[in-house]
């Protein structure tokens, strides 16, 4: 029985940023203050604000192959930067962006085996929030970088197919993030560790986000009722709906197609 129907575009941006920040809270060094944001597209404002608000990031280094994307990001974030007190630094290269960054977020979209971060691109202690390598044939991190790091995933069977670890052997060690949160596994072991959150986005995140949206929309009086499923006295007597519709001399389209179930 469908109970809630929602768009999942804006919601995806919110849930992805929330998940990234949650992972970083468990994996990044607590003193992280500088984040490089590589790929300044649709997700980037949400990622930036989540890390400023939830991680205490004070400086953002921004890089995109498309300078217009970075300009848009700066324009959109500027009022928040003034109010919340963080700095924005557009950069000319990936190397410039990652220099001095405690956290590196990669949110690029290129349907290919891209290498946004080479094996030696980042130094010890960095946390990488890799959200752009999220389907088969699409990666952002060099295999050598994955080998240098402790890698954390949402749901291992899915990430082996869709994540950056699709390039790695089937026995490449990874840890599901929930195990760290539940105290069953260790996240960052030392301040020098490189940690990677190899994020692909999975169904439980969408489900949790939609539960949250439904709760908030109901509280704000924003829900509309849609008639999708017939309410029948006897669920096996589905044909009853056809008979009832036939009795109506001029059945409306809505009356014929739906049965008026208040959600």
Binding residues vs ligand NAD (CB under 6 A): 12, 16, 38-44, 64-66, 69, 107-110, 114, 116, 131-132, 134, 199-201
Q: Are 83 and 14 in contact (CB under 8 A)?
A: no
Query: Given the complex with ligand NAD, which of 92 and 109 has the nearer CB atom?
Result: 109
What are the beta bridge partners of residue 202?
A: none
> Least CB distance from residue 34 to ligand NAD, whole Å?
18
Distances (CA, A) of 151 to 7, 184, 208, 237: 31, 15, 24, 54
Most distant CA pair in the chain, distance: 77
From the list 102, 134, 164, 193, the catalytic residue is 134
What are the beta bridge partners of residue 30?
A: none
Query: Given the complex with ligand NAD, which of 109 and 223 has the nearer CB atom?
Result: 109
Query: Given the complex with ligand NAD, which of 110 and 244 has the nearer CB atom?
Result: 110
Rg of the chain over all Cα atoms, to the nearest angstrom: 23
Q: Are 73 and 97 in contact (CB under 8 A)?
A: no
> Least CB distance from residue 89 to ligand NAD, whole Å?
15
> Least CB distance from residue 223 to ligand NAD, whole Å?
25
- Judge whether 134 counts as a catalytic residue: yes
Q: Are 44 and 106 in contact (CB under 8 A)?
A: no
> Least CB distance from residue 253 to ligand NAD, whole Å?
37
Query: Given the complex with ligand NAD, which of 114 and 259 has the nearer CB atom?
Result: 114
> Least CB distance from residue 185 to ligand NAD, whole Å?
21
Q: Which residue is nearest to ligand NAD (CB)?
A: 41
Q: Are 94 and 128 in contact (CB under 8 A)?
A: no
Q: Are 117 and 104 in contact (CB under 8 A)?
A: yes
User: Rounded to the nearest 10 degrees, how much is the dihedral formed by the CA atoms of 73, 79, 85, 90?
Assistant: 30
> Least CB distance from residue 7 to ligand NAD, whole Å?
14
User: Rounded to the nearest 10 degrees, how much is the dihedral formed by the CA atoms of 51, 56, 60, 65?
Assistant: -20
> What is the C-alpha to C-alpha distance for residues 247 and 228, in angstroms, rounded to an integer?
21
Query: Given the complex with ligand NAD, which of 4 and 155 has the nearer CB atom?
Result: 155
Query: Given the complex with ligand NAD, which of 99 and 241 has the nearer CB atom?
Result: 99
Nearest to 200 by CA among 164, 149, 233: 164
List, by residue number, the catalytic residues.
Answer: 134
């Amino acid at each position: 029985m469908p109970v809630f129907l929602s768009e999942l575009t804006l919601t995806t941006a919110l849930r992805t940023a929330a998940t990234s920040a949650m992972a970083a809270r468990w994996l990044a060094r607590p003193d992280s203050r500088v984040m490089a944001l590589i790929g300044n597209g649709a997700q980037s404002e949400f990622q930036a604000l989540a890390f400023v608000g939830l991680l205490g990031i004070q400086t953002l280094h921004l890089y995109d192959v498309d300078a217009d994307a970075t300009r848009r990001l700066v324009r959109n974030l500027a009022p928040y930067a003034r109010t919340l007190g963080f700095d924005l630094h557009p950069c000319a290269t990936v190397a410039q962006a990652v220099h001095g960054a405690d956290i590196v977020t990669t949110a690029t979209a290129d349907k290919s085996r891209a290498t946004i971060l080479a094996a030696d691109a980042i130094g010890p202690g960095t946390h990488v929030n890799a959200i752009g390598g999220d389907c088969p044939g699409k990666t952002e991190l060099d295999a050598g970088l994955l080998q240098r790091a402790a890698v954390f995933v949402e749901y291992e069977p899915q990430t082996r197919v869709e994540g950056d670890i699709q390039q790695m052997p089937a026995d490449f060690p990874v840890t599901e993030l929930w195990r760290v949160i539940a105290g069953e596994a260790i996240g960052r072991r030392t301040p020098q560790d490189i940690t990677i959150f190899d994020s692909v986005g999975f169904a439980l995140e969408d489900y949790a986000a939609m539960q949250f949206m439904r709760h908030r929309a109901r509280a704000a009086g924003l829900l509309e009722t849609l008639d999708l499923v017939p309410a029948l006295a006897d669920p096996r007597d589905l044909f009853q709906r056809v008979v009832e519709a036939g009795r109506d001399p001029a059945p409306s389209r809505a009356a014929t197609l739906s049965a008026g179930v208040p959600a």
